[in-house]
Amino acid sequence: MKHILHSYNKIEIGNRLIVFPNETNIDKIESFENVICFNTTPFEKDLDWNKIETHLIWKERCLNNPSELFCYESSGDLKWKFQNRNVVGFGKIIPDLKQEKDFITSEHYRNYIEKYKDKELIEVYAGDFRYLLDVNTGEIYDKMHSK
């Protein structure tokens, strides 16, 4: 799906330009068949971590520009936004590429393949949890403590 990243805080999807505050950074973008997902983080490239006041600035930026995950339709309309505002990473999961050796038992593998066959999945890390979601609906299929 087509998108254009105009700058660190501006992305064009369809005919819509999505602009975030100057202190927000678009961090990672993943294209799927029907949606484009990306996460945002507080902008930090302009900060000097050797200065004492930087930590206060960073704290304020994190409050005002949380790390979030958005998925947009090709028209540029927001499809869904992840419920947790502390997204530290995400990525595509392709069930067909999973192998039986990746699972505890053959039965677990078969159940996984049957459950997620023909689905576009996304793995999201937010806070202390790992989530498995349907990328087209935002539905959470699984939530696991990740620490």
Contacts 24+ apart (CB under 8 A), 18-26: 18/72, 18/76, 20/65, 21/64, 21/65, 23/61, 23/64, 23/65, 24/65
pLDDT digits (tens, 9 = 90+) for 69-113: 999 999 999 999 999 888 999 999 988 888 999 999 999 999 999
Is the pTM higher than 0.75? The answer reads yes
